[in-house]
Structure 1
Amino acid sequence: MRKIIESTFVSLDGIIDDTRPSTASRAEPQHWGQPYWDEDHGNYAMKLMAGVDAMLLGRVTYEGFAEAWSGRDHEGAEFMNSMPKYVASRTLTETTWNATLIKGDVAEEVAKLKEQPGGNILKYGTGELDRTLVEHGLIDEFHFWYFPVVVGAGKHLFEGAGFDTTHLKLADLHRFDSGIVIHVYAPK
């Protein structure tokens, strides 16, 4: 069975994104995370992608990634652009960027994706989709990238989650010279 692997950037004060509509653009990970994107960061990201053959994205992450990646043409971008993507959204009616819109019950459809043959599925970003995935026990591994920065405002990790307490076990830990520490967790 394929695993779903969640990869999320988190500030030390638990911020994962700006608030919508944006009241704290400084809270966007591309602003506070970029100074730490070095060779260690890139190597780990590529290692994480090496074992996957599809991505699972919510609408917001999908739209941001499609805008950022679709026009790039270097080696990493070619891999990202060609990889099949599954998008969960209540508002999109069509997708581009090599993506398929998940129709029907998201938890049920994601469970079916996990049963299909193939490599693991990488999910970027943390938002509404995660509430459903965690509630139904569909995430097999979390990679929380803790950056050495305090943002002070924005959306917190699993803010307003609405699901019961979920216990995880620490499966691995990676430290980079930049100060990033990645905690890898799996369900208990």
Structure 2
Amino acid sequence: MGKIVISENVSLDGVVQDPVGAEGFRFAGWFDRLERKDREAWAGVEFEEALTTDALLLGRRTYEWFVAQGWATRDGGWADRLRAVPKYVVSSTLTDLEWNSTVLKGDLVDEVSRLKQEVAGDVVLYGSGRVAHALIEHDLADELRLMVCPFALGEGERLFGRTDALKALRLVEHRAVGDSIVRLTYRPLRDA
């Protein structure tokens, strides 16, 4: 059985919106304001994660960003790994995908539940804020890996939106990444 992992870059105040400046958000590109040393340390951790990822789960906009940014044709071990991993894209509009990808068109809860049964290992969600919200709301996320960046934005879409119930989590790992980033890993306490 697979494990659904939400892996996100977040500001100190939980904002996930437009970290690289692709959406026109007021604080667009906030992630790019990290110092070079921190971005390099971040890239190392992300590459490690990619090596243990068995599949990627992406929303339509994140998928399109990945393809537009050239991940499908980049060189290097990280790009090679991302190319090789199967990708599952949540979309009601996309039909013809490239880059070793499959569209999940049905009900998100049903599709992700089925995916958890079919893929052994980590199914990692990058970006895809709307999908992340739904996975959290429906208790489908088995782990959250948050790269907390040293910015307080004060506005923007947050990882945790409104919810119908309290979501209890347990910190299972914390790690400094570079001089300014902290990676926090949480797992849900489903019986809490």
Q: Secondary structure at the match of 1:17?
A: coil
Identity, in percent, stands at 35
Distance 2:23 2:77 in 1: 34
CA distance in 2, matches of 1:63, 1:29: 20
> Residues 29, 112 of structure 1: CA spacing in aligned structure 2 closer, same or farther, 3 A cutoff?
farther
Answer yes or no: is the 8 Å Cα contact 1:32–1:149 preserved in 2. no
2:104 is aligned to 102
Deviation at 1:164, TM superposition (A): 2.4
SS of alignment partner, residue 172 of structure 2: strand
Query: CA offsets per residue over residues 143-168 of structure 1, 9 Å max, x none?
Result: 01101123344322224x44422111
The residue identity in structure 2 corresponding to 1:118 is A
Which deviates more from structure 2 when the two are superposed, residues 148-157 or residues 5-14? Answer: 148-157
> RMSD in angstroms over aligned alpha carbons?
2.2
Count of residue correspondences: 185
Q: CA deviation at 1:10?
A: 0.7
Shift of the 83–77 alpha-carbon distance from structure 1 to 2, 3 Å rule, reads same
SS at match of 1:150: coil
| CA deviation after TM superposition for structure 1 residue 63, in Å | 0.9
**Structure 2 unaligned spans of 5+:** none
> What is the rounded CA distance, in whole Å, between the counterparts of 1:31 and 1:55 in structure 2?
23
Q: Distance in 2 between matches of 1:86 and 1:30?
A: 25
Q: What letter is aligned with 1:82? A: A
- 5+ long unaligned stretches in structure 1: none
* SS of residue paired to 1:16: coil
Partner of 2:88, secondary structure, is: strand
What's the counterpart of residue 12 of structure 1? 12
TM-score normalised by length of structure 2: 0.85
Pairing 1:74-153 to 2, within 5 Å after superposition: 74-153=76-155
Letter of the 1:101 partner, please give it.
Answer: V
